[in-house]
């Protein structure tokens, strides 16, 4: 369990708070809007009304005592940037800030953010990859060039074993899991034979994945 300071309880911030609470973390939610704070009271551990661009107010929160600080302010990049900068100046251990437009990420990183999330862009990329192919069931980006894909079994692979397919040598990919009947098996043996009802978890470089599965 971690202690989390969440600054901004708009739609995105509220959803982040819900997920953090479900994971069992203690969340202090803050917003300048009283209605948003009241709506989040049943979700977060504690909540306060306040202006996160006000240094004196932030000091009262003891930002250096939280494991992670999230800046999820919506539709006000100036406030998001100021809040991010102030958090670092006050000793915040780890700051995650939200970007809403191209170009904002670099400014946030320069002004104290340890990590930047860009939900609209990230979800758009996921949706484009997921729904532009008949093979992809799910997708997780690891960095700018490597990902994990859950894919259906290509027809030409059915009846062949992992060792026969030899995707590591041919495509520099690694099969890390096989799902069948709703159960994921991470103990992938060389003699495991592919069947139509299976799906695979495959990790590797995006270019290799796209080539292998002709996506």
Its pTM stands at 0.73
Domain hosting residue 108, numbered range: 3-117
| Listed residues 117, 152, 185: the one ending a domain | 117
Q: What pLDDT sits at residue 136?
A: 80
Instruction: Extract the tokens encoding 30.
Output: 């803050």
**Half-sphere exposure in the Cβ direction for 127 (13 Å, CA):** 6
Q: What pLDDT sits at residue 215?
A: 56
Task: State the CATH number of the domain containing residue 64.
Answer: 3.40.50.720
Q: 101 and 142, same structural domain?
A: no
Task: State the CATH number of the domain containing residue 164.
Answer: 3.30.70.1450
**Which phi and psi (to 5°) does residue 43 adopt?**
-100, -50
Q: 92 and 31, same structural domain?
A: yes
Per the structure, the count of domains in the chain is 2
Q: What pLDDT sits at residue 25?
A: 95
Q: 67 and 107, same structural domain?
A: yes
Q: 146 and 110, same structural domain?
A: no
Closest CA to 11 of 129, 84, 119, 159: 119
| Listed residues 117, 149, 179: the one ending a domain | 117
Which pLDDT tens digits describe the chain residue by residue (215 residues)? 899 999 999 999 999 999 999 999 999 999 999 999 999 999 999 999 999 999 999 999 999 999 999 999 989 999 999 999 999 999 999 999 999 988 999 999 999 999 999 988 888 877 887 777 777 888 888 887 888 989 898 888 999 999 999 988 988 999 999 998 889 999 999 999 999 999 999 999 988 887 887 65
Q: 199 and 136, same structural domain?
A: yes
Between the CA of residue 21 and those of 42, 44, 46, 123, 201, what are the distances in Å?
Answer: 10, 7, 11, 22, 29
Q: What pLDDT sits at residue 198?
A: 92
Between the CA of residue 26 and those of 32, 83, 88, 104, 145, what are the distances in Å?
Answer: 20, 21, 21, 29, 34
Angle (nearest 5°) at CA 86 between 85 and 90: 125
Q: 105 and 89, same structural domain?
A: yes
Q: 30 and 105, same structural domain?
A: yes
CA–CA dist 135, 179 (Å, integer): 14
């Amino acid at each position: 369990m971690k202690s989390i300071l969440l600054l901004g309880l708009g739609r995105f911030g509220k959803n982040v708070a819900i997920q953090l609470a479900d994971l069992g973390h203690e969340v202090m939610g803050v917003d300048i809007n009283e209605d948003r704070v009241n709506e989040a009271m049943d979700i977060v551990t504690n909540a306060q009304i306040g202006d996160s661009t006000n240094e004196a107010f932030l000091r009262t929160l003891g930002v250096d005592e939280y494991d992670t600080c999230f800046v999820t302010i919506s539709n006000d990049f100036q406030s998001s940037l100021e809040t991010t900068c102030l958090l670092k100046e006050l000793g915040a251990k780890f700051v995650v800030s939200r970007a809403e437009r191209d170009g904002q990420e670099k400014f946030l990183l320069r002004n104290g953010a340890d990590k930047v999330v860009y939900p609209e862009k990230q979800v758009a990329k996921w949706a484009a990859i997921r729904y532009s192919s008949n093979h992809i069931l799910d997708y997780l980006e690891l960095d700018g060039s490597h990902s994990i894909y859950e894919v259906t079994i290509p027809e030409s692979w059915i009846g062949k074993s992992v060792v026969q397919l030899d995707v590591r040598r041919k495509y520099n990919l690694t099969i890390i899991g096989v799902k069948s009947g709703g159960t994921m098996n991470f103990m992938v043996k060389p003699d495991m034979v592919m069947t139509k009802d299976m799906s695979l978890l495959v990790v590797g470089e995006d270019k290799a994945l796209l080539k292998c599965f002709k996506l």
